[in-house]
Amino acid sequence: MYSVFGHKEIPAATFNETVKALKTNMMTLNNYLKGKYYLVGDNVTIADVMVAAYLIIPMQTVFDGGYRKAIPNVTEWFERMTGLPSFVRTCGYIKLSEKAFKQWDPNAKVEPIKAPAAAGGKKGGKGKKEEPKKDDDVDMDDLFGDDDEDDGAAAKAAVAKAKEAAKPKKEKKKVIAMSLVLLEVKPLDDTTDLDKLATGIIKNITQDGLYWKTEYKKEPVAFGIFKLIIGFSLEDEKVSVDDIVEKIEALEDEVQSVEIAAFNKI
């Protein structure tokens, strides 16, 4: 992939074969991720972090929007991993490529930037200074003549400008940055009432800028135990996702752990 940036030069056939092999591997990974949130088990592991970090360059270069539709499981998992707060703090927000990069061509001709035409002259030539028009000539004999009429017009213009400036300006509507978060809440054991737990979370964990979704889901984990899938939207400047997770995990009699399943900007 370094060849798309010009770090190394390789034959076009080799570049195409490499991309083809990488896409074949992605199809295998896509089949593996069917029905899974993570690569290993029910939590984020070093495997998720390593593979997601490896795929940053392909996702930003040769995997365009059309191809990503062919690997929906990989794309969804990758966006979930790179949307985690800890990932964003380390790597920033990852912008996916809409158009695939081509192999770097050292022989490609750079299109020159055209210089603007000189003012008052022909394009590419020397400009010729224009003589002032007759209507624009200054009447040197009337420098100290009667200018009451001009002064009156200028005064009226100044008053009008002052009135316009005194008018209250419309404040620009402030754009509030918001995010949508999906949490996986694992109960302490199979006796935990998930409906009661969800109701309690929505009712008791509240603050300005936090908006819980009233609908939630229960998904099976293993051995008759279900996990709670619950979501909320938040104002980025007012609410910390880590704080919300800590407040839910503080319910030690009901909650075993909380994981962030999805974190997306609205």
Q: Is 101 among the domain residues?
A: no
Residue 7 pLDDT: 59
The pTM assigned to this predicted structure is 0.40
Report the domain count for the chain. Answer: 2
Q: What is the pLDDT of residue 1?
A: 59
Residue 250 within any structural domain of the chain: yes
Q: What is the pLDDT of residue 5?
A: 57
Q: Give the per-residue pLDDT at 144.
A: 45
User: Is 158 a residue whose pLDDT tops 70?
Assistant: yes
Is residue 80 in some structural domain? yes
pLDDT of the residue at 141: 46
Assign 27 a pLDDT band (cuts: 50, 70, 90). very high
pLDDT at 124: 46
Q: Which domain holds residue 183?
A: 178-265
Residue 75 pLDDT > 50: yes
Q: What is the mean pLDDT of the chain?
A: 80
For the chain, the helix, strand and coil percentages under 3-state DSSP, each to the nearest 5: 40, 15, 45
How many CB atoms within 10 Å of residue 235? 14
**CATH for 184:** 3.30.70.60
The DSSP call for residue 33 is T
Q: Which amino acid is at 181?
A: V
35 lies in a domain? yes
> Is the per-residue pLDDT at 152 higher than 70?
no
> Can you give the CATH number for the domain in which 86 is found?
1.20.1050.10
pLDDT given for residue 127 in this prediction: 47
As a whole number, mean pLDDT of residues 214-239 equals: 89
Please indicate, yes or no, if residue 70 is contained in any of the structural domains: yes
Cβ-based neighbours of 240, under 8 Å, separated by 6 or more? none
Tally of CB atoms within 10 A around 87: 20
Residue 225: helix, strand or coil by DSSP?
Answer: strand
**Residue 37 reports pLDDT greater than 60:** yes
Asked whether the predicted pLDDT for residue 257 surpasses 50, the reply is yes
* Residue 138, domain member (yes or no): no
Domain presence at residue 24: yes
